Amino acid sequence: MALLEVEGVSAGYGVAPNILNEVSITVEAGRIYSIIGPNGAGKSTLLKVIAGLLRPRAGRLVFDGATLNGLRPDQILARGLCFIPQDRCLFPEMTVRENLRMGGYLERDRRVVERRMRRVFEIFPELADRGGQQAGTLSGGQQQMAALGRALMVEPKLLMVDEPSLGLAPRVTEQIFATIRTFRELGMSVAMVEQNARRSLECSDWSYVLDLGTKRFEGPADRMLSDPRIHELYLGKRPGGAKAPERGKP
CATH number assigned to the domain comprising residue 222: 3.40.50.300
What is the distance between the alpha carbons of residues 203 and 191, in angstroms, rounded to a whole number? 11
Which pLDDT tens digit goes with each residue over 109-165? 889 999 999 999 999 999 999 999 999 999 999 999 999 999 999 999 999 999 999
In a domain, 183, yes or no: no
| Residue that is last in its domain, among 155, 178, 206 | 155
What's residue 236's pLDDT? 61
Sign of CA dihedral 5, 7, 13, 18: positive
Average pLDDT on 13-24 reads 96
Please report, for the chain, how many H helices and E strands are present, in that order: 10, 10
The answer to whether residues 19 and 47 touch, using CB atoms and an 8 Å cutoff, is: no
145 & 75 share domain? no
Q: What's the structural domain count of the chain?
A: 2
1 & 114 share domain? no
Average pLDDT on 48-54 reads 97
pTM of the full structure = 0.89
2 & 74 share domain? yes
Burial label, 26 (beta-carbon count in 10 A; 0-12, 13-18, 19+): middle
Q: Strand order of the sheet with strand 158-162? A: 81-84, 158-162, 189-193, 32-36, 206-211, 214-220
What is the distance between the alpha carbons of residues 40 and 59, in angstroms, rounded to a whole number? 20
The answer to whether residues 154 and 103 touch, using CB atoms and an 8 Å cutoff, is: yes
76 & 192 share domain? yes
69 & 1 share domain? yes
pLDDT over 80 at 245, yes or no? no
146 & 208 share domain? no
163 & 242 share domain? yes
Which pLDDT tens digit goes with each residue over 58-85? 999 999 999 999 999 999 999 999 999 9
Residue 139's domain comprises 89-155
122 & 65 share domain? no
59 & 163 share domain? yes
